[in-house]
Structure 1
Amino acid sequence: MPARRSILLSFSRLAVILLCMLAVQAQSVQAKPRLSLQSSVPSETLPVANPKFKHPVDQHQVFFLQRTTNANTIVYVAQFDADGQLNRQRPMHGYWRRFAGRGHQMAFRWYERVAGFGARTRALNNGADFEVRFNGLKDQQLLLKQNGPFDAALYTRQNGRDYRMIYGYIDVDDSGLLPRVTRLRLYTSDPETGNFMTHTIAVSGGAFRE
């Protein structure tokens, strides 16, 4: 029973993390967290959410996610064919970078992949770009765009504008029975201005229950 309880709590944590990473309304078992955009602040340099946590610099990286709980980081990378075009069968791949340990790469567990962090992709009619939908939030559409040979980026829409995703950082309250997300900071760049943009999103009612 203790092992089963640990698995269920891990599943709840992962569902909430994915919800906040995308900053959209999610599907929960009993409650739907409420998200409120507090601000979108431009800057000339990329802010560092937590100086104690290492930022990954993996090859072809398009997005990563960190949390207050520990330094372990979720990384997404683009995958290309020999000509530098996005791989038609699997254009994007995600995994853990275990910075709380020795920094090694670790695959998602099956429930992490199926219920949250795994992604489905669909080739667009232009023959180069892909629609991306995470398994935990299938109604949220992102764009994986080919910018050049061996060069791609992931985009999200905020306030009616498309921003290039860089990383996300979420505040997790572990004081209760289940982890609860209270805030998301989504760090992006603005293709129109060249500035960075930090979107701060408040989260309420973010506890999931099995």
Structure 2
Amino acid sequence: MNLGRKRFLVFLILLTGIFSMVNSGIAANRESVDKMMYNTDPQDTFPVPVGIKNQLFYLQRTTNTNTIIYSLNVNDKGELDESTPVKVFWIRYPEGGMRKELNFIQKAFAYGTISRKNRDGSFTIQLVAYKKKEFTLKKSLLDNTYKMYTLINNKESEIKRVYIQIDPGGTLFNPNVRYIEMKGKEAATNKPIMERFKP
């Protein structure tokens, strides 16, 4: 084998090694990106409602980005309507972020609330679709404004967001819920808190 052919073979071996390293790097990067995308929960890509007056918390579901807003129901003077202290409505992001009222079925069977005034002036609030979880609407000791509280990880917390992971296979009135995620702030420390549970 002459010197020129040897050099050519060495060049091919080196070139093959370089391509192998490049392809390995691309594959590793692709795997890393795929892993990052896989680990990104769908709710982390959903829009976050901002600038909504008297908002208490909001609810989102896997099915689409339409968002249910739970807000304080006050009149023009800022006085609370004690007969219906929580107002519920849609923000329809796929329709340009328009606001829309709940229809009768949505209000009565899915996203509406039941309220009861307590002796201390607070209100016990339940969602009609999941009455096991109770919320308390009361004034904060920090700023004397109404906020919604519930237990998250057995700690009293101001609820800010509810997300429902729905899998295929259920029905309109009995969806296949994999988990409910609640996010908020601990009342005692103001630290972020989160809990997922199977209803």
Q: Please indicate, yes or no, whether the TM-score normalized by the shorter chain is above 0.5.
A: yes
Q: Does 1:136 align with 2:140?
A: no
Change (3 A) 1:82 1:74: closer
Partner of 1:18: none
Partner of 1:94: 88
Deviation of residue 98 (structure 1)?
Answer: 0.5
Deviation of residue 73 (structure 1)?
Answer: 0.5
Change (3 A) 1:184 1:199: same
Deviation of residue 136 (structure 1)?
Answer: 2.6
Q: What are the within-5 Å matches in structure 2 for residues 46-57 of structure 1?
A: 50-57=43-50
Q: Does 1:169 align with 2:181?
A: no
The two structures have a TM-score, normalised by structure 1, of 0.64
2:182, 2:93 → 1: CA distance?
Answer: 20
Deviation of residue 96 (structure 1)?
Answer: 1.1
Partner of 2:197: 201
Q: What are the within-5 Å matches in structure 2 for residues 60-99 of structure 1?
A: 60-81=54-75, 84-99=78-93
Change (3 A) 1:60 1:177: closer
Partner of 1:107: 101
Q: Show CA shifts across 1:177-203 (max 9, x none).
A: 645221222111101122100112246
Give RMSD over aligned pairs: 2.3
Amino acid at match of 1:96: W
The two structures have a TM-score, normalised by structure 2, of 0.67
SS of residue paired to 2:65? coil
Q: Runs of 5+ in structure 1 lacking a partner? A: 1-47, 204-210
* Structure (1 or 2) with the greater helix fraction: 2
Deviation of residue 49 (structure 1)?
Answer: 6.1
Identity of aligned residues (%): 25
| Matched positions, count | 153
SS of residue paired to 1:172? strand
Partner of 1:44: none
1:133, 1:155 → 2: CA distance?
Answer: 12
Contact 2:170 2:176 in 1 (8 A): no
Contact 1:85 1:146 in 2 (8 A): no
2:178, 2:166 → 1: CA distance?
Answer: 6
Contact 1:117 1:135 in 2 (8 A): yes
2:55, 2:133 → 1: CA distance?
Answer: 21
Q: Runs of 5+ in structure 2 lacking a partner? A: 1-40
Deviation of residue 85 (structure 1)?
Answer: 4.5
Larger radius of gyration: 2
